[in-house]
Amino acid sequence: MIDIRPSAPAATLDSPIEHLNACHRRIEARLDTLERAGPHLLSNTAEALTAIRSALRFFDSSGKHHTEDEEASFFPRMAGRLSPDEQLWVEQLENEHARAEALYSELKQHIDNLPDPPIEAAQARYIELAAALCTLYRQHIRNEDARFPSIAARHLSAADLEGISREMKRRRGL
């Protein structure tokens, strides 16, 4: 059986920086699911597709919100306060978001167009796309985890964080 349960700590939207870090753990759990499901596409198609589609639903909701939180709430508030090196780093993160979104769209389209029953070539392409997305996302997460909390804490005030928290809740309909 392919495990699709989330395996990450919860963090409230009242602590936006901690929430982003906790969301990284949830993203990593879904990346693991995408990778583990690929080898089962031919032998256990229904279960593999259930796991894959569950992970995709997460990326379409929570994953999308996570990126919006960064690009619409965090990055604009920090922009005028960052050193040139930090500003380049944020631009790199935004470029990685765009590349991840393009890979994700291709992966999702591939799943939507998967032949029934799947064939080896379709399974191989899925595994290739999932691996590329996972590699990019994991590196992106490591990069963010290494620098983002300290940069955000240094450049954002309590009022900024309260505003970000409100925006995050609004995005989620809370």
CATH number of residue 61's parent domain: 1.20.120.520
Q: Is residue 5 part of a domain?
A: no
pTM of the model as a whole:
0.90
| Residue 90 placed within a domain | yes
Tell me the residue range of the domain where 29 lies. 16-171
Query: In the structure encoding, which two tokens stand for residue 38, read together?
Result: 């690929």
Give me the residues of the chain with pLDDT under 50, please. Answer: 1-9
> What does the pLDDT read at residue 10?
52
Provide the domain count of the chain.
1
- Confirm whether 70 is domain-assigned: yes
Asked, for residue 1, whether it belongs to a domain, the answer is: no
Write out the two tokens for 108.
């999702």
What pLDDT is recorded for position 11? 74
Cβ within 8 Å of residue 45, ≥6 positions away: 117, 118
Length of the chain: 174
